[in-house]
Structure 1
Amino acid sequence: MPATAIAPLKIGNLTIDPPILQAPMAGFTNAAFRQIVREFGGAGLLATEMVNARGFVWLDEHEAEHPDRLWGVADEPRPLAVQIWDNDAATMAKVGARLVEEYGVSVVDINFGCPVRQVTEKAHSGSYLLREPQRMHAIISQLVQVCAPTPVTAKIRLGCHPKNINCDEIARVVEEAGAAALTVHGRTAADMFRGHADWDRISEIKAHLKNIPLIGNGDLDSPEKVVTAFEKYNVDAVMIARACLGRPWLFSQAAAALRGEPIPPEPTMVQQRDVMLHHYRLVVDRFGEEKATILMRKYACCYAQGKRGARHFRTHVAKVSTEAEFYAVVEEHFPLSPAD
């Protein structure tokens, strides 16, 4: 693919180049992970974990430390997006204003796509709101007003259920409310992460947008799939999610592919293990040994995924609670052979 084939992404007054975004993922995309992604390069826009707006307000009112999910945000390089969720427009606006004024974030993103029951059925937020377009409009429009000129974006799914796909209507609502970009995950909320993302359906949404860019998301687990997304589907940018958790170098590979350059090879198994240990040290520096070791269990499983012996490693690393135990399990059990 020629280097000139893919234009940078414009989100309001912000230029994202390359147009490859790192998805916000709860429990994973913290400052340590973002630092490692930056060290490899290739991601045009990074994002925090999603932040509970109501919880943020409660901490603020009680003069407590702001959420751990905002760790690093004030000081790390830009551009950077912070994703927030709730179902109350006033609460969301209050938090959006603080993120812009106090943290100086580049983008405020609204989560209308999370399918997890705790967010949807219990809190009536995330993808639950896809059934309430006018409420979405109110949330977006209030955020746009208080955050200006910082752009506000929205992330959605195709709908709540395969029998109730309303992404075209939602796309129009999102743009009319003033959002600067729309990201669409190619599954419904009921699908969770089962099956395959429907990129044809994502692509069809473009016709329902007048001026704002469309960002496609779902199943992008190789540089080749990223290139195909731009070549075959009508999207302005892509967002990489779960596939990057154990492969933070995926962005640099995808960016090279878009430029028409040779794709950097996968790091060796030893190099991948060393990246994971670097990640662990960053988390320990922030949270201390005990909490960091527990947090790192899930990351370690991601780094091992797809390798021969990954299940055996997961069994052992899931039990560690000290730094010594973590290093011992990695030394003895981390897979150093790719899967067949």
Structure 2
Amino acid sequence: METPQKLEHLTGEPTTTDLKLPPLKIGEMVVDPPILQAPMAGFTNYAFRQIVRGYGGAGLLATEMVNARGFHWLDEHEAEFPDRLWGVEDEARPLAVQIWDNQPDVMAKVGRRLVEEFQVSVVDINFGCPVKQVTEKAHSGSYLLREPERMGQIISRLVEACAPTPVTAKIRLGCSENTINANEIARVVEESGAAALTVHGRVAEQYFKGQADWDRISEIKSYLKKIPLIGNGDLDSAEKVFRAFRDYNVDGVMIARACLGRPWLFAQAAAAIQGRPIPPEPTLNEQRDCMLEHYKLVVERFGEAKGTLLMRKFACCYAQAKPGARHFRKHVANVATKEEFFEVVDKHFPCDVPSEPVAS
């Protein structure tokens, strides 16, 4: 068995310091540990969340972002719920559902439905998505950072509709480097009744390029009087999570893209902030088994054809930064059946030692 890693301070000296963080409260709900899984479109579905829960360490999980207007249309036409709500009704709690749109009344109706019928723990509003289909075409997501008054209207209506379930907001620093207004937006979010604010440390025009600005995230704390500040951006190791809490004025952190191929990252981060030895990375064979369990859950829901297609991108995440990852991605990008998927995994997924072939 591998020896658990110890966290390294910037000085290079090993430590297992317990940061003794105060509880993170979102409304009346305690998030323990104060580490949240970010909502990510196309990725954080029920299958992925179940894998994360299996490893532990995430205090609050979240769905993919749900188009409120689309959900409302389906509801009015008595159609099936969006795929992005797969598993939500029966899933363990706490669980947040993130929604987006720019119409306060529509958002309020959907929020109320999520609270009454799905009994979600948190309704989160996406004011941070930089994708053009959401911003330029729908005037939603990070586009609304240029309209603080409208943001306030959306939040207020949702808070009223969802009570007593807490409503939270996720933003970016601004739309561009020349229009950074996160401090002003933070006040609007709090004054409108939101229970927490999550800030991604980039502006929308950056998408995911460059580095997240944690100094600017930290600065926002002084503009909040009651609600917690959650920082997000570039948290790809337990050490970085530890330093985010130690060096910046945040009450919680949110892990995003780095967890997609490493769902055990939450458990490692939780150990780091609690002063426990950090669990080692799973062996390559264990990571492969995790990926196969993920594939099984996806296929059970969507069937072999669609499930295999959806799993291509997840498989690429699991292989990221491993020896032969590029070669594996090249082959897995074209699989269409279970048999093809298992064959590619057997032949090309990195492994520690020869493992048993995958049974199809």
Tell me how far 1:138 sits from its aligned partner: 0.3
Query: How many Å separate the matches in 1 of 2:114 and 2:180?
Result: 32
* Counterpart position of 1:187: 202
Question: Among 97, 101, 118, which residue is 2:116 paired with?
Answer: 101
* Counterpart position of 1:261: 276
Q: Does 1:23 align with 2:48?
A: no
User: Which range is displaced more, 6-15 or 248-257?
Assistant: 6-15
* Counterpart position of 1:312: 327
* Contact 2:38-2:254 within 8 A present in 1 as well: yes
Q: Does 1:127 align with 2:149?
A: no
* Counterpart position of 2:338: 323
* Counterpart position of 1:164: 179
**Aligned 1:1-340 pairs, distance under 5 A:** 2-3=17-18, 5-336=20-351
* Contact 1:21-1:45 within 8 A present in 2 as well: yes
Identical-residue share of aligned pairs (%): 76
Tell me how far 1:8 sits from its aligned partner: 2.0
* Contact 1:7-1:19 within 8 A present in 2 as well: no
* Contact 1:307-1:336 within 8 A present in 2 as well: no
Tell me how far 1:71 sits from its aligned partner: 0.4
Tell me how far 1:4 sits from its aligned partner: 5.7
Q: Which amino acid aligns with 1:53?
A: A
Deviation readout 1:204-258 (Å, 9 max, x if unpaired): 0000001000000000000000000000000000000000000000000000111
Query: How many Å separate the matches in 2 of 1:311 and 1:90?
Result: 47
For the aligned residue pairs, the C-alpha RMSD in angstroms reads 0.8
Tell me how far 1:191 sits from its aligned partner: 0.5
* Contact 2:19-2:246 within 8 A present in 1 as well: no
* Contact 1:86-1:123 within 8 A present in 2 as well: yes
Structure 1 residue ranges (4+ consecutive) displaced by more than 6 angstroms after TM superposition: none
Tell me how far 1:336 sits from its aligned partner: 2.6
* Contact 2:189-2:197 within 8 A present in 1 as well: yes
Tell me how far 1:3 sits from its aligned partner: 3.2
Query: How many Å separate the matches in 1 of 2:22 and 2:222?
Result: 19
* Contact 1:156-1:184 within 8 A present in 2 as well: yes
* Contact 1:112-1:127 within 8 A present in 2 as well: yes
Q: With structure 2 as the length reference, what TM-score do the two structures score?
A: 0.93
* Contact 2:19-2:275 within 8 A present in 1 as well: no
Query: How many Å separate the matches in 2 of 1:321 and 1:54?
Result: 32
Query: How many Å separate the matches in 1 of 2:127 and 2:270?
Result: 27
Q: With structure 1 as the length reference, what TM-score do the two structures score?
A: 0.98
Deviation readout 1:167-190 (Å, 9 max, x if unpaired): 000000000000000000000000
Query: How many Å separate the matches in 2 of 1:334 and 1:260?
Result: 34
